Structure 1
Amino acid sequence: MSLVRSGGNVFDPLSLDFWASADPLGVVRPLAEQCPVLTNVRVDWKETPDAHVFRADLPGVKKDAARVEVEDGGVLVISGERAREEAGEGEAWRLVERSSGGFRRRFRLPRGARLDQVRASMEDGVLTVTVPKEEAKKPQVRAVEISG
């Protein structure tokens, strides 16, 4: 049986956004207090033997409008903005369902992540961020002479 996590980042305890939204008394603040304009961005995080791979669905976001950063303490930040399409002269919107505005997701990376070798690429509206892992060190074994 596999565990699949779905839903927004406010209810995802592995996302730092979940913990940032709680006050010292444990009450969760509304999203509007964290970020005035927030687009719900879905992110998948897969761990392979060699790396941590993040895939974010960013339809309608241009490559130069997306940002990937690594903060002190090993925090990966995926952020950016989806521009709102303005109605031209003589045009009027009848229905607007696609969201626009800024987004930001933060993830604390586990120990052993190679923060200096993070790579990112974007294709067909999907941002892929790869964070390589340090090679597992094999334990050195040395014989100890037994006296007596």
Structure 2
Amino acid sequence: MDEFSDRSLFDLWFPFNMSHSTSTTIPNSIDIDWKESPEAHLFKVDLPGLKKEEVKVEVIILEDARLYLQISGEREKERDKKGDYKWHRIERSHGKFLRRLRLPENAKPDRLYSSIQDGVLTIIISKEEHEEGPLLKTIEII
């Protein structure tokens, strides 16, 4: 599975534990579980607090002529409402995120499903054969 992941080399080589960082930006990568059944590839993506309108799921082709599942979005920083507020702590992350996973050749992007519920995005990509069609597709989250 590692050969399909795009986790940054920075993640592998950076020796410091950032768990005590004061930054509240979203990490460069998001947590994804990927499993395969005889019929499909199933992805579960942790996106707590995000609405479907804040997430974009695409199947794209990059320069290497391979298919990739791309998940991107942005969590807005909570803006101060009118009033006299004094922040004591800001720990919830915000900002843009992007994650790409190279899809195996048996993944067929013309037959897929996605939904988001309770902060978990579920994406199912069929492995069945399909007729030739467009290889670039934006996936609607329902």
TM over 0.5: same fold?
yes
Give the structure-2-normalised TM-score.
Answer: 0.69
Q: Structure 1 or 2: larger helix share?
A: 1
- Is 1:125 the counterpart of 2:116? The answer is no
- Partners in 2 of 1:93 and 1:49 — Cα distance? 51
Residues 4 and 103 of structure 2 are in contact (CA less than 8 Å); yes or no, is this contact kept in structure 1?
no
- Partners in 2 of 1:44 and 1:92 — Cα distance? 38
Shift of 1:97: 1.1
SS of residue paired to 1:64: helix
- Partners in 1 of 2:106 and 2:32 — Cα distance? 21
SS of residue paired to 1:16: coil
Two-structure CA RMSD over aligned residues (Å):
2.5
The AA in structure 1 aligned to 2:6 is L
String of CA shifts for 1:34-58, please: whole Å, max 9, x gaps.
xxx5434211111111110111111
Kindly report structure 1 stretches of 4+ aligned residues shifted beyond 4 Å.
Answer: none
Give the structure-1-normalised TM-score.
Answer: 0.67
Correspondence for 1:78: 71
Shift of 1:18: 3.1
- Is 1:100 the counterpart of 2:94? The answer is yes
Residues 87 and 93 of structure 1 are in contact (CA less than 8 Å); yes or no, is this contact kept in structure 2?
no
Q: Structure 1 or 2: larger strand share?
A: 2
Percent identity between the two aligned chains: 43
For the pair shown, the structure with the greater C-alpha radius of gyration is: 1
Higher relative contact order (CA 8 A, sep 6+): 2
Correspondence for 1:54: 43
Residues 61 and 83 of structure 1 are in contact (CA less than 8 Å); yes or no, is this contact kept in structure 2?
no
Residues 40 and 125 of structure 2 are in contact (CA less than 8 Å); yes or no, is this contact kept in structure 1?
yes
Q: Kindly tell me: are residues 92 and 64 of structure 1, through their superposed partners in 2, closer, same or farther at Cα, counting changes over 3 Å?
A: same
2:108 to 96, 100, 114: 114
Task: Count the aligned residue pairs.
Answer: 113
Correspondence for 1:142: none
Q: Name structure 1 gaps, 5 residues minimum.
A: 6-11, 22-26, 30-36, 136-148
